[in-house]
Amino acid sequence: MEYKELFQKENESIQERLALACERIDAFTMETRIQEPFLDYFKKMADFVELLLDWKYQIETGMLWAQDVDTIREYNRGLYADILPDAYETSYANPTYAVARLGQEYGSLLSFLYTELRGGIIYIVEHRLFDLTIHLELLVEILCLFEEGMPQAKEIQDTIYYFVSDYADHTVDYRTREILDPELSFATDIIMKSDLNDLRYLFRYGEYITDNEWKLAQFLNRMPQEEINAMAYTYTHGYEEGFRIAGIDLSKKKTVNIRYAIGQERMVRAAIGQFEKMGLTPVIYRAPVARVNRRLTLRPGYTATAANKQYDYDHRMDEMLFLDKAFVERKIAVLHSAYENRKQLAKEYAGPAVIEVFGEKPFEPQNKKEVLTFSEKQQKLSVAMTTESSQIVNEYIPQSDYSFTIIAYPLPEIGENFEEIFQAIVKVNTLDNEAYKKVQQILIDELDKAESVRVLGAGDNQTDMTVMMHERQNPDKETNFENCTADVNIPVGEVFTSPKLTGTHGVLNVSEVYLNDLNYKNIMLIFEDGKITNYTCDNFETEEENKAYIKENVLFNRETLPIGEFAIGTNTTAYVMANAYDIVYKLPILIVEKMGPHFAVGDTCYSHSEEVRLYNPDGKEIVAKDNECSLLRDTDMNAAYFNCHTDITIPYDEIFKIVSVHEDGTEVAIIENGRFVLPGCDMLNEPFQEK
């Protein structure tokens, strides 16, 4: 069945409700009893609805696609004009402006309403008229409250609450279907059926298209097909290798979730062909649209460059309007039902294959007092909801039954050397696995002798961490560290372990790092017995703001997190390349984690799959897969897992020394002054000499 036909009956049945909502909004513009300043707000909403209806007409008739590219680009900009940085200061999507115009009580509520209405751009292009209709009906319902007299702010919030809660059985269920059902082939059809040389296809997604998407697609179109195929093979072969190494039968799976950046379609098309030879059909979904399915500023799924990251940041906790115990119970129940109804699709799901992008200017958010934020109680509810949701997903898609892969490429925004940098990244992604495997084994052989490892920063870096290692029962057959080559985690270049928490302590400090699309300056975390006890950074003027920033976006509103991983990155080629082009702080953690020692806070790398037996190339079994938290999984799942894993890397030039400390007190240096010093590791220093 064609994608559009999936919604035909639903769209036909909703037409009358959609027409009534549109008529009511149109009638408001002719005659209204609403007074200023709210009159201006609702007129702006009516103008936006008119824009949506024209967009719907353009999509349904196909008229837009007959226009030249400049006309289409201008139309695309018009859809997003109100939230772009040059207009955002006077947009009702901006909580600061909305509160200034409408007052504290009403401004945040009505700003949220506008952000939800903006999802109509996507609902229309995806032919989801039910979603469009219910959001227009929400606008009409709140509009009527104002026409009947000045409503209490609580009346508006209650209207929003019951809207989100009542329709959760649709919005949450549909999101689950997006994740599992290959019939929802909207993006797949664009990739496989478009003329990728005609870049007008980019605008069919409905996302805001920037120079990043345009220039990236142009660049890939100029590459020889054999190079495109080779890039795709690095990615798909890594995925296949993940199953082989983990001993999971890929032949029992039927779908692969492909996540990519718009503009990469040529590589993705080649990858789809290669996945199909493995018996896998793509499931491709965009980053979530409705707030009910979003988590802070995270954007899992395919994406374009954000139209305005400050806009996304301002609305990162809008669910505080409806986040209470009853709603959590409602959402969890719907989520469980959604997976139960699709348990066969879940069983056939092979896991995500992710193509990350990087190169954007690091985002430094502005804190605003007008934005909606969680109360302390809601922070705990949010954590609980994430935990319960993850447990449901793991019930139907056990992490021990699927694999993944992840690779990254630059965006044109990275600078005028984009094409040169892109080719350098291709080289980094295809370094010699065998050579690294041998050198990394030398590191592991020494680290396996350690009772603890000490990491000391250089210069202004205040890092002083003591990391406790697990005891091996059979050293001849067991190892603490995984020899990580380029399979699920591309590029090659790290050895890692799950350290003991008890006794692990100290200070972790990095001058600048980019985590989950946010920039951190001079971040500092303090640990006792492997758990964070204090934290700060230099992003904002006050200590309160700095702490809140880390708590929200690193701890994800928890009071603490444990160390889930300690690793030593060995990809000095990537490090030298990054410094040569001055792009260290634009790289994703996927590459940065290979460019020095790093610590991950949150779950271990083996979360929910600790029982899967894994072996290094030398035949030794990896036994350090648990810590004192994950061992609680049989008695207290909520205390065992945290559903996050954030790597924080210290670059080589901020490292004074990494020392393996034996039980008898013997100290063996692994790194001194940013260079590897173990005999046999000279290969890792060669890129520094070439520089």
Please report whether residue 423 resides in a domain: no
**Amino acid in position 249:** D
pLDDT, average across residues 545-557: 91
Kindly tell me if the per-residue pLDDT of 690 is higher than 80: no
pLDDT, average across residues 644-658: 91
Domain that holds residue 440: 431-690
Please report whether residue 504 resides in a domain: yes
- Prediction pTM value: 0.90
* 245 shares a domain with 289: yes
* 122 shares a domain with 40: yes
- For residues 690 and 64, the model is more confident at 64
**Amino acid in position 172:** V
* 183 shares a domain with 162: no
What pLDDT is recorded for position 589? 83
Q: In this structure, how many other beta carbons lie within 10 angstroms of the beta carbon of residue 461?
A: 21
What pLDDT is recorded for position 592? 87
Contact at 8 Å (CB) between 265 and 303?
Answer: no
d(CA 505, CA 464): 9
As for how many domains the chain has, the answer is: 3
Which residues are within 8 A (CB) of 422 and not within 5 positions of it... i.e. 6 or more apart? Answer: 219, 409, 410
Which residues are within 8 A (CB) of 211 and not within 5 positions of it... i.e. 6 or more apart? Answer: 412, 413
Kindly tell me if the per-residue pLDDT of 31 is higher than 80: no
Kindly tell me if the per-residue pLDDT of 253 is higher than 90: yes
Kindly tell me if the per-residue pLDDT of 260 is higher than 70: yes
d(CA 432, CA 444): 18
Q: What are 305-336's pLDDT values in tens digits?
A: 999 999 999 999 999 999 999 999 999 999 99
* 312 shares a domain with 244: yes
Least confident of 191-195, 306-310, 477-481, 651-655: 651-655
Q: What are 429-476's pLDDT values in tens digits?
A: 998 888 999 999 999 999 999 999 999 999 999 999 999 999 999 999
Single residue among 143, 166, 189 that ends a domain in this structure = 166
Q: What are 574-628's pLDDT values in tens digits?
A: 999 999 999 988 888 888 888 889 999 999 988 888 888 888 889 999 999 999 9
d(CA 353, CA 357): 13
Single residue among 124, 139, 166 that ends a domain in this structure = 166
Mean pLDDT (the chain, rounded): 94
Single residue among 407, 440, 462 that ends a domain in this structure = 407
* 644 shares a domain with 495: yes
**Amino acid in position 661:** V
Please report whether residue 589 resides in a domain: yes
Residue 396, CA distances (Å) to 263, 337, 342, 520, 642 in order:
33, 11, 9, 36, 18
* 330 shares a domain with 398: yes
What pLDDT is recorded for position 487? 78
Contact at 8 Å (CB) between 458 and 448?
Answer: no
Please report whether residue 414 resides in a domain: no
* 160 shares a domain with 184: no
Q: What are 374-419's pLDDT values in tens digits?
A: 999 999 999 899 989 999 999 999 988 999 999 999 999 999 999 9
pLDDT, average across residues 199-215: 98
- Output the six-digit token pair for 472: 């091996």
What pLDDT is recorded for position 500? 96
Please report whether residue 412 resides in a domain: no
d(CA 286, CA 511): 34
Kindly tell me if the per-residue pLDDT of 292 is higher than 60: yes
* 469 shares a domain with 386: no
Q: What are 60-97's pLDDT values in tens digits?
A: 999 999 999 999 999 999 999 999 999 999 999 999 99
Please report whether residue 425 resides in a domain: no
pLDDT category of residue 515 using cuts at 50, 70 and 90: confident
